[in-house]
Amino acid sequence: MSPTIESTVVLVSPFPSERLNLAWNWLNQFPENNFDDFGPTTFEEFEGEMIRRMGVEKTWGVLKDGVLCGIIAFLPANQRNGSFHGICFSKAVHGTGTAKRAVRMVIEEIFQSGVQKISASYFASSTKIEHLLLSLGAQYEGTLVKQTVQHGRPIDMRLVAFHAKESLR
């Protein structure tokens, strides 16, 4: 039996703004999981929004074996809590454990900074992100009924949270 070689996962913060085109491409690999009717529709709109957001949010790029493959954003509300404001990975790393390792690293970093609660909301139909967050130990907090609009139809979102005093899985 040959030895298993584990890939390296490294975070870079902030996400390199000159590589936002990659994030735009990843978002568009699964548009139903990433866009409602109020989000950007072109790369130029996305880039402008992300540059603005990077002024108030903490962002991370995720490198797997030296290759940029993901973006994570966190919006602090105050010193005690905040929310994930985007978690997206290239389709190429789905199912490899890269996202789980990277999100766990980000959660640990946020908690080490003194934050006590991290919330995350996502489209109710987005089962991949739901599975990821719950597998890391997120607690279900509720359904936000008809929270946003997608293709002109109201859709539900789910809300989960991580708490600093509870261990990650």
Burial per residue of 27-42, b for 16 or more beta-carbon CB atoms within 10 angstroms, e otherwise? beebeeebbeeeeeee
Asked whether residue 3 is domain-assigned, the answer is no
**Chain segment 85-104, per-residue pLDDT in tens:** 999 999 999 999 999 999 99
Count the domains in the chain: 1
The residue type at 29: Q
Domain interval for residue 133: 9-163
Asked whether residue 2 is domain-assigned, the answer is no
Three-state DSSP state, 12:
strand
Asked whether residue 168 is domain-assigned, the answer is no
Three-state DSSP state, 132:
helix
Contact 119, 104 (CB under 8 A): no
Asked whether residue 91 is domain-assigned, the answer is yes
- On average, the pLDDT of the chain sits at 95
**Chain segment 33-82, per-residue pLDDT in tens:** 999 999 999 999 999 999 999 999 999 999 999 999 999 999 999 999 99
**Chain segment 10-43, per-residue pLDDT in tens:** 999 999 999 999 999 999 999 999 999 999 999 9
Asked whether residue 78 is domain-assigned, the answer is yes
Asked whether residue 156 is domain-assigned, the answer is yes
**CATH number for the domain including 42?**
3.40.630.30
Write out the DSSP string of 18-79.
GGHHHHHHHHHHSHHHH--TTS--SHHHHHHHHHHHTTTSEEEEEEETTEEEEEEEEEESSS
Crossing angle between the packed helical segments 127-135 and 98-112, to the nearest 10 degrees? 60
Asked whether residue 107 is domain-assigned, the answer is yes
Asked whether residue 169 is domain-assigned, the answer is no
